[in-house]
Amino acid sequence: MWRETYRRCVDPEIFLDTTAIQTFMAEVASVDPEADPPNLSVTLDEASSWQYEQRGVYRELTDAAERSESSETLAHALLRQSGPLASTLGTWLQGMSAPGVFEDEAHLRILALFADDIGVGGPRSSRYDAFKILAAQYGRPELAVDADELAAERRVRDHMFALPATLFAISRRSDEFAPLIVGIDVVLRSIGVLPCWAALRAGDGAPAEWTRLDLARSTGATDIVSPLDTSRELAEKFCATGAAARRQVAFGAAWMLNALRSWDELLLEEVRAALHPQRAMEQLIRERAREGAVYHQNFRMGGGETLSELMERARTDPGPLLKELAATRMVKPGNAGRSSLVNGLIGPKGPMFRIFSADDVEVISKWIDSLADLDHELEPPPSAARVPVAPSPGLLDRTAEEGVVPADIREAYFVLQGRVLAPGTRDFALRFVNRWLARAKRSLGRTDRSLPAQWTSAGLRPWLLDMHDKHGVEFETGRSGSMPTREQVVDETLQLAPLTLIDGSWLQGFTDARLATTRYGFPLFETYWDELGNGDIELNHPKIYRDVLREMGIVLAPTGSREFAYDPRFREESLERPVYWLCLGKLPQTFMPEILGMNLAMELSGVGGSYRTARRFLKHYGFSTHFVDLHNTIDNVSTGHSAWAADAIDTHMRTVSNLSTPAEFAAEWERVRIGYESLAPLPSSTIADRIGDRFRKTPWKSRSQGGSLFHHAPVEVS
């Protein structure tokens, strides 16, 4: 079923074969991938015309519904059947940010667009969250759920999940479909608010949430003034990179417009059916016939067939059953109030009470009322909409793309620069993370910097302030220490480059809309957003670090290039922690507690102490201190990243405490503690330097990690 495909594609860790995605695309829209697509400008003009025409169609529909006093039915049908597409708003961009493009200006603007769509800076602030608020206001709270829960809403027709499932699927393979995604985005921004939603939006007094459904208008969460203008500029930039990219952008735009047309035809058919009593009743019978056919084998209808037999036929053809039912004494045509089917059989005292929901009873009642005088004004025309065929079972699990299994740490660093984890690469990432965490587990309680042995309802803020005080004391105590040589400062800065140029990569999984808008996930996304400069290249942390390196006479290849990973100036141990980060960031659900812990360790690592020490050394030799100054402020323990990291953990642990046994709660807290230790697990031999900080307590000394992690046997974290 399409709803199952949709549910699985919502998973942020799913890997999809490009063939599967192309199959989905071909099913939801008929665009020949081999033919030359129309010019982008032509498609955008067509999109504008289509939007205008469809608004007229929906205006006629709403006017007719008002005349027949069916406005509420119309609104409910529109919201219910469009809910899956609403859940995708902006999410086609969620996979575009990856370490290999952390310093790419176009991708930073794409991230800014996505940040605007999900309302960075607040939980439940995305465009889809606005839709959920509207659904609740219209009396449909069952639609105000997360995307994975929406798949369980049985009254949403299965084929209405086809386009949303495909958009989620495409978002999982930005490595293959980046220009196409840009084409998709510019069409949807050009349309702005979908015609079906524009039909429901009232005048000036309409709730503000309607504005947030308009993809052409900013939500106000970022510096994006006009998402439409930004999207067009991005499309132009991608097109300017070459003919192949230009064709992909144009194809993505043409496909999206055709897919939207097909989706809208299906939506209109569903809405018209909901407004037409006979069609609505037919649909209800189809949906309930399978379960009803199990019973009533001995109840024979007027035509000679049993009710069970008629129900079995009704799964595809409900007409005969409805004709027989209308002729029984249970139905008084034109008067549902006097029909025993409604006020007796399925009523509160009837033998079939609760078999039908309140919404179902309303459908049945309207059908009975319509039997005397059918309102032909709402009679839907014969359907011309093509229903997309659901994917075959197992299509999502089949893949010819096994991915690269890195042979050494340098290849791992290079391969993991992208967003996607093919099966073979995923297996490698799981083994690597589990090895690392096994070391971290052995570090628990061995120093005074570990997280508390138990989490309490007081949260981590008191502990956080204690650790900040400790950093301050350490800095004051070490101020008179010896000054490293200039060569040592330069070498340490160079060796930290593979780590710092992917700053925030452990959080890249939290760019997934499903995670980025949760109570515990939104501060992690906002942290990631800060690390990359909030869409501004001048504030981009990797770029700022490269500026420091250039002052030292060091010029490095692009971080995502093979040349960078194999730069002989890097010692191999300088790549091990970065690879751990790269693996962790691609597995946000599998290692969510560990990421929460590691994030706190990272954000707290230099605040108040190590950054100030590093500043002294850099300033002594005339190098810019911008990088360390920036982090000592934005990582602060009051309102900065350290505070956010602690709050995210507290929010998560409070949720877990309400949903788990004491043993499960203790196990979850241990995973968070292990994650915290994993930033700087102690060497197996001695309690050595704190090797995890960007600028450590005793900076500029060479590292020792006790050999490569590739030589350890995999150990699963309990």
The pLDDT assigned to 377 comes to 43
Residue 585 pLDDT grade (very low, low, confident, very high; cuts 50, 70, 90): very high
272 touches 283 (CB < 8 A): no
The CA distance from 82 to 96, in Å, is 25
pLDDT class for 692, splitting at 50, 70, 90? very low
Residue type, 47: A
Q: By the 8 A CB rule, do 245 and 34 touch?
A: no
Q: State percent of the chain over pLDDT 70.
A: 92
Q: Are the C-beta atoms of 100 and 560 separated by less than 8 Å?
A: yes
**What's the chain's Rg over C-alpha atoms?**
29
What is the average pLDDT across 191-216?
89
- In the predicted model, is pLDDT for residue 610 greater than 60? yes
How much is the mean pLDDT over the chain? 89
Q: CA-CA distance, 619 to 611, in Å (whole number)? A: 12
List all residues 6 or more positions away from 432 whose beta carbon is below 8 Å from its beta carbon: 412, 579, 580, 583, 709
Q: Distance between terminal CA atoms of the chain? A: 35
Band (106; pLDDT cuts 50, 70, 90): very high
**589 or 703, which is more confident:** 589
Question: What's the pLDDT tens digit per position in 53-102?
Answer: 999 999 999 999 999 889 999 999 999 999 999 999 999 999 999 999 99
691: pLDDT strictly greater than 60: no
More confident residue, 353 or 461: 461
Residue 490: HSE in the Cβ half-sphere, 13 Å Cα cutoff: 12
Q: How far is CA 668 from its chain centroid?
A: 23
509-564, pLDDT tens digit by residue?
Answer: 999 999 999 999 999 999 999 999 998 999 999 999 999 999 999 999 999 999 99
Coil/strand/helix, residue 180: helix
Domains (range + CATH), the chain: 50-276 (1.20.910), 303-378 (no CATH), 481-701 (1.20.910)
The DSSP secondary structure of 316-371, one letter per residue, reads: T--HHHHHHHHTSTT--TT-GGG-HIIIIISSTTSTTTTSS-HHHHHHHHHHHHHT
Angle separating helix axes 243-275 and 277-292, nearest 10 degrees: 90
Q: Take residue 316 and report the two structure tokens written for it.
A: 């595809």
pLDDT for 288 beyond 80: yes
Mean pLDDT of 292-301: 83
User: Using 50, 70 and 90 to split pLDDT, how confident is the model at 260?
Assistant: very high
> Within a 10 A sphere around the Cβ of 8, how many other Cβ atoms?
17
- Answer yes or no: are the C-beta atoms of 435 and 712 closer than 8 Å: yes
Structure tokens at 520: 């515990």
Q: From residue 83, give the alpha-carbon distance in Å to each of 12, 56, 262, 506, 518.
A: 20, 22, 16, 32, 19
Residue 713 has pLDDT above 50, yes or no: no
Beta bridge partners of 352: none
DSSP 694: S
State mean pLDDT over 257-285. 93
pLDDT for 412 equals: 98
Q: What is the pLDDT of residues 443-501, one digit of tens each?
A: 998 888 889 999 999 999 999 998 888 878 877 777 656 789 999 999 999 999 999 99
Are the CB atoms for 576 and 499 separated by under 8 Å? Answer: no
**Confidence grade of residue 708 (pLDDT, cut at 50, 70, 90):** very low
Mean local confidence (pLDDT), 212-225: 95
| Statement: residue 704 has pLDDT above 90 | no
Residue with the bigger pLDDT between 35 and 460: it is 460
Mean pLDDT of 655-668: 95
Residue 306's φ and ψ, nearest 5 degrees, are: -75, 155
Torsion of CA 604, 615, 585, 643, to 10 degrees: 30
639: left (phi over 0), alpha (psi -120 to 50) or beta: alpha
In the chain, % of residues over pLDDT 90: 68
Secondary element (H or E) of residue 575: helix 573-585
Mean pLDDT throughout 378-397? 77
Query: Does residue 280 surpass a pLDDT of 90?
Result: no
Both tokens of 96, joined, read: 């575009």
Neighbour tally for 699: CB within 10 Å: 24
Query: What per-residue confidence (pLDDT) applies to 480?
Result: 56
Q: Are 383 and 272 in contact (CB under 8 A)?
A: no
Quote the CA–CA distance of 457 and 649 in Å, as a whole number.
Answer: 12
Q: Is pLDDT at 687 greater than 80 in this prediction?
A: no
pLDDT at 705: 31
Q: Point out which residues pair with 300 in neighbouring strands.
A: 306
- At 643, is the pLDDT very low, low, confident or very high (cuts 50, 70, 90)? very high
Q: What is the pLDDT of residue 300?
A: 85
Longest dimension (CA), the chain: 101
